């Protein structure tokens, strides 16, 4: 094979990878937008108290979903990708074994959540939350079912099915959740039962997502199983890969072998994700219980918690969700550099990952912090009391955005160095700090719920500090300080100028949504050229971004070279 052909194949793989990242990035953005839109009318229907019940049940469900599915789709996609050079029966065995394992976890998870719902609701200090927890329990089963198909398609390099299924799930959650909640209100149900009806929209959305994936698997099964292999006939020409997994011929032995392979790959990823989910649940319990300890009634505590988790937390989580897609293309480059022993490239790739993370997260962080009230008032215009409560919480919480984004990148860096278990240590330490800080701060009547975002900041700070100790031992040398300082300077200047401009105009003409949008636009107009001017953004960064047109990207790379 000529060098030109080799480069062509590499380019095709790179383009396919970038296309997959683009598809998942777009679906992530769409899902997040739908989720934010969903909360606006839902808050009107349920009120802050109802949203408190809804969000508390969702956090419990997330834990069961993480334990059941966090690492298994990734593990399945790895095994499918390895088996693509082998016979058709190998892929079928993997899919069959994974289906058995996933469905077993789904049934057990749903039954456990259903059975433990009274205990969970009692731990939160209100038996009224039990309705939502019972209603959401079937979702664990459908999520496990969806994960089998998503892992299969991802192993084949097909991200479209996963992306579409995520959008279907989010859209039906929005539409049906609102319909069910509205019907429940018309029937005169109480706030906990209305919230439980709204949760049924999520159940229906996850079921529809699983159905779409199952139909897609059936429709595309033949082409996927035979057309994209090493040879034209779907077989490896030299038969070198047919025993990659070492699966025994006996069906039962092969199934057990595949399950062991799946669990071996999945357990470290699952443990890391489970630590985050468990921490969120304990944090939720601490917030609700400590507020009741200082004199809040149960309904009042859930109302405050509902405002915080419905208004402040979704905006905070937007940036980390985007960073996971932007940082993804840089991780294979780091793994390749590590494999070759190229120390300069390792430092360069890690530096680029951190710099791009700061370029995106810094303006979002400062913008949310300085414009918290204006942004929340624009989105939740008819919820003045909830906005008044959540705005100062978002201002503090937004300071953690760069730290939360860096955690995503740091975990990916450690995975590239084959140190996937190390983030568990840092997350456990950060979680301990978070829980201790939240317990004492929220228990102070003068601080109360404000202690929640403060504890998040200290948690993320500790996780970052420990992760960088690990990364510092792996990197050949340290990073340039300008990697963080330059994006911060550009963001501080642009957001600061727009904040002053908005304050001046509001003092003269009064505040409005149009002025808020204008201030945000002004920040972006200042930030982009200023980032280029101070050297935070480089021409190479544009060429690497998956959202840039491929032709433009290639031309730009040629100019750079």
Q: Is the separation of the CB atoms in 369 and 316 below 8 Å?
A: no
Question: Looking at residue 417, what DSSP letter applies?
Answer: T
- Integer-rounded Cα radius of gyration of the chain: 24
Q: Exposed (0-12), middle (13-18) or buried (19+): which is 264, by Cβ within 10 Å?
A: exposed
Number of Cβ within a 10 Å radius of residue 514: 9
Is 539 contained in some domain?
Answer: no
Say whether pLDDT at 548 is over 50.
no
Q: What is the mean pLDDT of residues 220-246?
A: 46
**By CB neighbour count within 10 A (0-12 exposed, 13-18 middle, 19+ buried), where does 205 fall?**
buried
- Residue 434 makes CB contacts below 8 A (sequence gap 6+) with 279, 283, 455, 456, 458, 459
In a domain, residue 311? The reply is: no
DSSP string, 18-42: HHHHHHHHHHHHHHHHHHHHHHHHH
How far from 180 is each of 14, 204, 307, 349, CA to CA, in Å?
44, 11, 21, 48
Give the chain's domain count.
1
pTM for this prediction: 0.71
User: Does residue 473 form part of some domain?
Assistant: no
Residue 470 lies in a domain: no
- Say if 501 falls within a structural domain: no
Within a domain: residue 326?
no
Residue 218 lies inside a defined structural domain of this protein: yes
Q: What is the pLDDT of residue 237?
A: 44
Q: Could you give the C-alpha distances from 492 to 148, 274, 428, 537, 553, in angstroms and in order? A: 45, 35, 32, 15, 29
Alpha helices in 159-250 (DSSP H): 160-186, 191-226
Instruction: Give 184-201 pLDDT, tens digit per residue.
Output: 989 988 888 898 999 898
Q: Is the pLDDT of residue 539 over 90?
A: no
Tens digit of each residue's pLDDT (9 = 90 or more) over 146-162 = 888 887 887 676 777 87
Q: What is the pLDDT of residues 284-338, one digit of tens each?
A: 888 888 999 998 888 888 888 888 988 888 889 887 877 766 555 555 567 677 7
Q: Environment class of residue 260 by beta-carbon count within 10 Å: exposed (0-12), middle (13-18) or buried (19+)?
A: exposed
Of 153, 133, 111, 150, nearest to 62 by C-alpha is 133
Kindly report, residue by residue over 395-438, the tens digit of the pLDDT. 999 999 999 999 988 887 887 787 877 888 998 999 899 999 99
What is the residue range of 138's domain?
A: 14-235+249-267
Mean pLDDT in residue range 46-66: 81
Q: Do residues 58 and 286 touch, judged by C-beta distance below 8 A?
A: no
Per-residue confidence (pLDDT) for residue 211, from 0 to 100: 93
Higher-scoring residue by pLDDT: 306, 20? 306
Q: What are 77-113's pLDDT values in tens digits?
A: 667 766 665 544 467 777 888 888 888 888 988 898 8
pLDDT of 263 over the 50 cut: yes
Q: How many CA atoms lie within 13 A of 472 on its CB side?
A: 8
d(Cα 165, Cα 208) in Å, to the nearest integer? 8
CA nearest neighbour of 210 among 291, 151, 131, 127 = 151
**Helix H segments across 84-187?**
88-123, 130-136, 138-155, 160-186
Per-residue pLDDT, 6: 43
Distance (Å, whole) CA 309 – CA 284: 10
Query: Does 387 reside within a domain?
Result: no
- Chain mean pLDDT for the chain: 78
Separation of alpha carbons 157 and 151, rounded Å: 10
Element (H or E) spanning 359, and its range?
A: helix 343-370
Nearest to 329 by CA among 186, 140, 540: 540
Query: What is the per-residue pLDDT across 452-487, written as a single tens digit (0 to 9) for each?
Result: 999 999 999 999 999 999 998 888 887 877 778 889
d(CA 363, CA 351): 19
């Amino acid at each position: 094979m000529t060098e030109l052909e080799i480069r062509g194949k590499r380019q095709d793989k790179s383009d396919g990878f970038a296309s997959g990242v683009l598809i998942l990035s777009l679906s992530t953005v769409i899902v997040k937008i739908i989720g934010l839109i969903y909360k606006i009318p839902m808050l009107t229907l349920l009120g802050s108290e109802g949203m408190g019940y809804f969000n508390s049940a969702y956090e419990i469900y997330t834990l069961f979903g993480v334990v059941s599915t966090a690492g298994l789709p990734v593990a399945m996609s790895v095994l499918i990708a390895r088996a693509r050079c082998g016979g058709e029966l190998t892929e079928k065995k993997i899919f069959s074994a994974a289906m058995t394992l996933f469905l077993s976890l789904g049934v057990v998870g749903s039954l456990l959540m259903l059975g433990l719902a009274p205990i969970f609701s009692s731990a939160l200090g209100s038996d009224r939350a039990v309705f939502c927890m019972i209603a959401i329990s079937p979702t664990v089963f459908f999520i496990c079912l969806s994960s089998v198909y998503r892992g299969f398609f991802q192993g084949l390099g097909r991200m479209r099915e996963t992306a579409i299924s995520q959008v279907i799930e989010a859209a039906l959650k929005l539409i049906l959740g609102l319909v069910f909640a509205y019907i429940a209100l018309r029937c005169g149900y109480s706030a906990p039962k209305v919230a439980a009806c709204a949760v049924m929209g999520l159940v229906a959305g996850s079921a529809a997502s699983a159905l779409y994936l199952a139909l897609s698997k059936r429709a595309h099964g033949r082409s996927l199983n035979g057309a994209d292999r090493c040879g034209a006939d779907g077989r490896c020409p030299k038969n070198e890969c047919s025993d990659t997994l070492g699966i025994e011929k006996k069906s039962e032995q092969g199934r057990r072998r595949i399950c062991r392979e799946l669990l071996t790959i999945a357990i470290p990823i699952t443990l890391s994700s489970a630590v985050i989910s468990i921490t969120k649940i304990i944090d939720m319990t601490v917030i609700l219980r400590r507020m009741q300890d200082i004199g809040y009634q149960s309904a009042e505590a859930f109302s405050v918690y509902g405002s915080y988790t419905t208004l402040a937390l979704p905006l905070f989580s937007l940036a980390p969700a985007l960073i996971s897609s932007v940082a993804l293309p840089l991780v294979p480059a780091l793994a390749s550099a590590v494999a070759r022993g190229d120390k300069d490239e390792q430092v360069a790739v890690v530096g680029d990952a951190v710099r791009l993370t700061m370029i995106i997260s810094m303006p979002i962080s400062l913008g949310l912090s300085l414009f918290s009230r204006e942004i929340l008032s624009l989105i939740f215009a008819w919820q003045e009391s909830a906005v008044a409560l959540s705005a100062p919480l978002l201002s503090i919480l937004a300071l953690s955005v760069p730290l939360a984004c860096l955690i995503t990148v740091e975990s990916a860096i450690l995975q590239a160095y084959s140190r996937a278990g190390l983030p568990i240590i840092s997350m456990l330490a950060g979680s301990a700090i978070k829980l201790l800080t939240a317990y004492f701060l929220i228990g102070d009547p003068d601080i109360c719920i404000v202690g929640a975002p403060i504890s998040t900041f200290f948690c993320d700070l500790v996780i970052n500090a420990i992760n960088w100790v690990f990364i510092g031992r792996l990197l050949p040398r340290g990073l340039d300080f300008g990697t963080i300082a330059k994006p911060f300077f550009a963001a501080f200047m642009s957001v600061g100028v727009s904040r002053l401009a908005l304050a001046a105009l509001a003092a003269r003409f009064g505040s409005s949504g149009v002025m808020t949008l204008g201030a945000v636009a002004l920040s972006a107009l200042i930030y982009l050229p200023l980032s280029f001017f101070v050297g935070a953004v480089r021409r190479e960064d544009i060429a690497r971004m998956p959202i840039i047109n491929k032709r433009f990207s290639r031309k730009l790379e040629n100019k750079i070279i």
